[in-house]
Amino acid sequence: MNDKETVRPRIVILGGGYGGVSAAREMIRRGVHKQARITLVNDSNFHYLTTLMHYAILKPIDDEKVSIFLPEFLGSSIDFIRATVVRIDAPGNRVVIKIRENEGELEYDYLIVALGWEPDYYNIPGLKEHAFVLHDIQNAHEIHDHIEKAFASYDKDPSQTWIMHILIGGASYTGIEIAAEVADLVPVLARKYSIDPAAVKISMVGIFLPEFDNVLANHAMNYLRQRGIDVRAGTMIERVEAQEVKFQADDAMRPGLVIWAGGIRANDVAGRSGLECDKKGRVVVDELLRCTSHKNIFVIGDCARAVDNSGRPLAQTAQFAAGQGEWLARSMGKILSGQTPKAYAGRNLGMFLSVGRKAGLGVLYVGKHKFRFTGYIARLLKKGAGYRYLWSIGGVRLVVKKLLA
């Protein structure tokens, strides 16, 4: 290590998802890596494009299409460490990491926590044990395989009607995206196994599309019902057993597969490390996205409780995670020189979701104007948002690479 090396402050980024990668790329773009030594820690070698993950339920997608190989992507400007973050020792300015079975420590001057989300099971008995969750590409493939196995078993023994019943717990945007992909998969497998698609029942329970207004929520509900999905808005799961799901309203059903998309909470590393969190595990941050107790710890994305100008927590979306990462990278020059940057102000540009392969819905905000979109155009806009993100982190080269993958 030379003299110059010892005086460079150390920035450690925890998490290589939308927030962490956006921060890292923008810092490279702005030359922050020349002023500071930057390290990014992630538990896999890949940044998975979670917003596209549900597409793999219908058709297995090549990993290359929905993931970015971090060591190559970050290049030599940033040190990449594949490790699991165990805890943050905030008073000691250290992070405890685990590489395979070995624990080690990383020291930092500035820490950026971008560890994302985990499912929230709300302590519903049996849910964690019996439900699938769409967290990564592997989960999408498992859901696909499970449904295909159900068709194969039903083909051999059609008396097992329950095996063809799929229950999606959670009716927010992820639940709807998942339900619609499953509905698109049914005719494909029905053809393959010569089974009447009517043998399959897809049910969906939970609070229906709280992210959108009534106009879009009603549109989505009608569309899903036309697709044959049994939408039970407001029905809540009470407990899940191996052969039965019980609802709070005292009725029950026997599905062959339960997929849980009913809620998320922040990754628990920050909470376990003693940083101040809200009841969803999100770290409380100030207007510079710093945690309340340690001003050299910044928290972004799904594990931060950043608020809008009326004090409401911002949605846990890729859009905000990437925006916060970029904002922090842009502010890092000032932070490193001891100045105070302008406060972070999250701007909601809108949100789109796909509803199967042919439809979508969403909303776009332009200034004070709100534009609603439905149908195929909305689906294209969701795709466009994905490519816009790729463009923001990797320019035209990355967009073309993913288009050709």
Could you tell me the smallest distance in angstroms from the CB atom of residue 195 to ligand FAD?
A: 27
Q: Which 3 state secondary structure label does DSSP give 356? A: coil
The length of the chain, given as a count of residues? 405
Q: Is 16 in the site for ligand FAD (CB under 6 A)?
A: yes
Q: Is 321 in the site for ligand FAD (CB under 6 A)?
A: yes
Could you tell me the smallest distance in angstroms from the CB atom of residue 105 to ligand FAD?
A: 14
List the one residue out of 184, 181, 185, 237 whose CA is nearest residue 207.
Answer: 237
Q: Is 267 in the site for ligand FAD (CB under 6 A)?
A: yes
Q: Which is nearer to ligand FAD, 245 or 300 (CB)?
A: 300
Q: Which is nearer to ligand FAD, 154 or 389 (CB)?
A: 389
Are the CB atoms for 327 and 343 separated by under 8 Å? no
Q: Which is nearer to ligand FAD, 206 or 301 (CB)?
A: 301
Binding mask 297-316 for ligand FAD (x = CB under 6 A): ----xx-------------x
Work out which of 172, 174, 203, 331 binds ligand FAD, going by CB under 6 A.
174
Q: Is 180 in the site for ligand FAD (CB under 6 A)?
A: no
Q: Which 3 state secondary structure label does DSSP give 30? A: coil
Select from 112-120, 145-153, 278-286, 342-350 the region that touches ligand FAD (CB under 6 A): 112-120
Binding mask 367-396 for ligand FAD (x = CB under 6 A): ------------------------------
Could you tell me the smallest distance in angstroms from the CB atom of residue 116 to ligand FAD?
A: 3
242 exposed, middle or buried (CB, 10 Å; 0-12, 13-18, 19+)?
A: exposed
The two three-digit tokens of residue 94, written as one number: 């250290």
Q: Is 170 in the site for ligand FAD (CB under 6 A)?
A: no
Are the CB atoms for 68 and 151 separated by under 8 Å? no
Quickly list H helices, 227-280: 269-272
Distance CA 131, CA 146 (A): 12
Distance CA 86, CA 95 (A): 8
DSSP annotation of 284: E
Q: Which is nearer to ligand FAD, 96 or 200 (CB)?
A: 96
Q: Is 184 in the site for ligand FAD (CB under 6 A)?
A: no
Distance CA 345, CA 341 (A): 12
Strands 110-113 and 350-355: unpaired
DSSP annotation of 342: P
Q: Which is nearer to ligand FAD, 103 or 251 (CB)?
A: 103
Q: Which is nearer to ligand FAD, 27 or 269 (CB)?
A: 269
Select from 30-38, 42-50, 225-233, 250-258 the region that touches ligand FAD (CB under 6 A): 42-50
Q: Is 67 in the site for ligand FAD (CB under 6 A)?
A: no
Work out which of 115, 209, 224, 229 binds ligand FAD, going by CB under 6 A.
115
Work out which of 24, 58, 96, 114 binds ligand FAD, going by CB under 6 A.
114
Residue-wise over 3-35: b if at least 16 C-beta within 10 A, else e?
Answer: eeeeebebbbbbbbbbbbbbbbbbbbeeebbeb
Residue nearest to ligand FAD (CB): 17
Q: Is 169 in the site for ligand FAD (CB under 6 A)?
A: no
100: left (phi over 0), alpha (psi -120 to 50) or beta: left
Distance CA 169, CA 184 (A): 18
Quickly list H helices, 235-317: 269-272
Are the CB atoms for 13 and 116 separated by under 8 Å? no
Q: Is 51 in the site for ligand FAD (CB under 6 A)?
A: yes
Q: Which residues, numbered 196-255, are part of the site for ligand FAD (CB under 6 A)?
A: none
Binding interface with ligand FAD (CB under 6 A):
15-20, 41-44, 50-51, 53-54, 84-85, 114-117, 134, 174, 177, 267, 269, 301-302, 316-319, 321, 353
